[in-house]
């Protein structure tokens, strides 16, 4: 077996299961999981209807590059959403089976093992960035996202000598687990560094459509390129998905877009990888990318939950004001996120995720996720509010 498999760390939910092992929560209380970021709102109905209508196309092999109609729908959506002057659906767009698969595969295809291969990732982070790096023979470079920098990486804290060995920089905006939004100025600063040190920027924007202020949608990497007149999107790729936007995590549908010089070899890699999206799924995806009404309704539902939970928890917990995504990132009284998680489960039958499980220790020995927990506000409003009330009750007893 690949010896790099031994470098993979347990997934956060494996560690959570170990932490909760042997704990007997009160049977009189129904379990409320606020852990996994799996959307629980109703899936976009027209996508499901389209999937059924085209079920006969399961009899056909799909092409790696996807249907022209799907690529066109994606390019049209991206142009509208991010104000792009152009995005070539044939050369700059590639449909994929969700961002998780695409992120992992891209690192395998892009990393040059013949020279130093650092991959910069936000810390805390989505663990696929790290696992993909390790299995591609690279070395993760953890960029801490702390409250003194608005939970975003500080690119200027990285030395020029370190940047010279970086091949890929991952961004996640809106951030998981912090909900922080990367401003255009940060994207543009990173573009300048990429030009200077010749690395790829990979922006995971799968939460981009879940934002709280309807008048202020989060900017994206390609948007930052367009503002600078970089319409070739050189060195840049973005990853988007229907999982959160349209409540279709089981559809496994997303896309990669950006630099045609990166898309072409990645498509060649995927031809051998054998991961083309089935035709009925592509047809369903077209319907979802072409409709915004259901996405606005989805945001409204999350706003309702954020408002209710913030009112309940703000008096007893400190957390950054949510901007986007569906997470809260509160600090826990006393600073021990593992003890908080285990005791909360034991007393209130509510599950949360310790922040340290999504982070790695810094060079100074501290962990930027320690002392916080991630709350995923994905269940219906009643269950989510009940979970918040139980957390507050738990804290007020203490």
d(CA 383, CA 24): 21
- DSSP characters for 90-139? TTSEEEESHHHHHHHHHHHHH--TTS--EEEEEES--HHHHHHHHHTT-E
d(CA 331, CA 353): 12
Is residue 21 one of the residues assigned to a domain? yes
73 and 91 co-located in one domain:
yes
- Strand ranges inside the chain, DSSP E: 32-33, 93-96, 118-123, 139-144, 166-172, 200-204, 236-241, 254-258, 327-328, 350-351, 353-354, 373-376
Torsion sign, CA atoms 323, 324, 326, 330: negative
92 and 237 co-located in one domain:
yes
130 and 216 co-located in one domain:
yes
Q: What is the pLDDT of residue 128?
A: 97
Overall domain count for the chain: 2
37 and 64 co-located in one domain:
no
d(CA 338, CA 20): 10
Q: Judging by beta carbons within 10 Å of its beta carbon (0-12, 13-18, 19+), is residue 63 exposed, middle or buried?
A: middle
- Which pTM does this prediction carry? 0.97
d(CA 172, CA 239): 10
Is residue 50 one of the residues assigned to a domain? no
Cβ atoms within 10 A of the Cβ of 274, count? 7
d(CA 243, CA 254): 8
Q: What is the pLDDT of residue 363?
A: 85
Q: Left, alpha or beta for 229 (phi > 0: left; psi -120 to 50: alpha)?
A: left
30 and 105 co-located in one domain:
no
Q: Domain containing 118: what range? A: 59-291
183 and 238 co-located in one domain:
yes
Q: What is the pLDDT of residue 189?
A: 97
Is residue 261 one of the residues assigned to a domain? yes
Is residue 53 one of the residues assigned to a domain? no
259 and 299 co-located in one domain:
no
Domain end (from 274, 291, 308): 291
- DSSP characters for 163-210? HTTEEEEEEESS-TTT-----HHHHHHHHHHHHHHT-EEEEE-TTTT-
CATH number for position 345 = 3.90.1150.10
Q: What is the pLDDT of residue 249?
A: 96
Strands 200-204 and 236-241, bridge-based pairing: parallel
315 and 359 co-located in one domain:
yes
Q: Judging by beta carbons within 10 Å of its beta carbon (0-12, 13-18, 19+), is residue 21 exposed, middle or buried?
A: exposed
Is residue 49 one of the residues assigned to a domain? no
CATH number for position 195 = 3.40.640.10
Q: What is the pLDDT of residue 227?
A: 97
Q: What is the pLDDT of residue 65?
A: 95
Inter-residue long-range contacts of 113-119, CB under 8 Å, 24+ positions, other chains counted: 113/137, 113/138, 116/164, 116/165, 117/165, 117/167, 118/162, 118/165, 118/166, 118/167, 119/166, 119/167, 119/168, 119/169, 119/170
Is residue 322 one of the residues assigned to a domain? yes
* Peptide linkage before 255 cis (omega within 30 of 0): no
Is residue 330 one of the residues assigned to a domain? yes
β-bridge partners, 236? 201
96 and 162 co-located in one domain:
yes
d(CA 13, CA 9): 11
Is residue 178 one of the residues assigned to a domain? yes
300 and 160 co-located in one domain:
no
Per-residue pLDDT of the chain (398 residues; tens, 9 = 90+): 989 899 999 999 999 999 999 999 999 999 999 999 999 999 999 999 999 999 999 999 999 999 999 999 999 999 999 999 999 999 999 999 999 999 999 999 999 999 999 999 999 999 999 999 999 999 999 999 999 999 999 999 999 999 999 999 999 999 999 999 999 999 999 999 999 999 999 999 999 999 999 999 999 999 999 999 999 999 999 999 999 999 999 999 999 999 999 999 999 999 998 889 999 999 999 999 999 999 999 999 999 999 999 999 999 999 998 899 999 999 999 999 999 999 999 999 999 999 999 999 998 889 999 999 999 999 999 999 999 999 999 999 98
Domain end (from 271, 291, 311): 291
363 and 244 co-located in one domain:
no
Q: What is the pLDDT of residue 364?
A: 87
318 and 387 co-located in one domain:
yes
Domain end (from 291, 308, 329): 291
């Amino acid at each position: 077996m690949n010896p790099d498999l031994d470098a993979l760390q347990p997934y956060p939910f494996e560690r959570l299961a170990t932490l909760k092992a042997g704990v007997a929560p009160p049977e009189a209380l129904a379990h409320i999981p606020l852990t996994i970021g799996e959307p629980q709102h109703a899936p976009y109905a027209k996508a499901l209807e389209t999937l059924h209508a085209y079920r006969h196309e399961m009899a056909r092999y799909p092409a790696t590059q996807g249907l022209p109609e799907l690529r066109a729908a994606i390019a049209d959506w991206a142009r509208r959403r991010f104000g792009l002057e152009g995005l070539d659906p044939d050369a700059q767009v590639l449909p994929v089976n969700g961002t998780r698969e695409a992120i992992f595969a891209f690192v395998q295809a892009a990393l040059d093992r013949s020279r130093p291969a650092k991959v910069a990732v936000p810390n805390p982070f989505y663990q696929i960035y790290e696992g993909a790096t390790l299995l591609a023979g690279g070395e993760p470079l953890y960029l801490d996202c702390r409250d003194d920098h608005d939970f975003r990486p500080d690119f200027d804290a990285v030395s020029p000598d370190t940047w010279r060995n970086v091949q890929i920089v991952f961004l996640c905006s809106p951030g998981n687990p912090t909900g922080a939004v990367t401003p255009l100025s940060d994207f543009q600063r990173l573009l300048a560094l990429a030009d200077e040190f010749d690395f790829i920027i990979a922006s995971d924007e799968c939460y981009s459509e879940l934002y709280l202020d309807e008048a202020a949608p989060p900017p994206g990497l390609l948007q930052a390129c367009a503002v600078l007149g970089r319409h070739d999107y050189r060195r840049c790729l973005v990853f988007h998905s229907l999982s959160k936007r349209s409540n279709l995590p089981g559809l496994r549908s997303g896309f990669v877009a950006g630099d045609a010089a990166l898309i072409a070899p990645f498509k060649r890699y995927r031809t051998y990888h054998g991961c083309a999206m089935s035709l009925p799924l592509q047809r369903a995806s077209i319907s979802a990318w072409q409709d915004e009404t259901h996405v606005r309704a989805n945001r409204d539902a999350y706003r309702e939950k954020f408002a209710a939970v913030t009112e309940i928890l703000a008096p007893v917990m400190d957390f950054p004001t949510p901007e986007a995504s569906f997470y809260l990132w509160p600090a826990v009284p006393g600073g021990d996120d593992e003890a908080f998680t285990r005791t909360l489960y034991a007393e209130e039958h509510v599950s949360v995720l310790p922040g340290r499980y999504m982070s790695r220790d810094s060079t100074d020995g501290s962990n930027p996720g320690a002392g916080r927990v991630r709350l995923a506000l994905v269940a219906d409003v009643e269950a989510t509010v009940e979970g918040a009330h139980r957390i507050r009750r738990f804290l007020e007893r203490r």
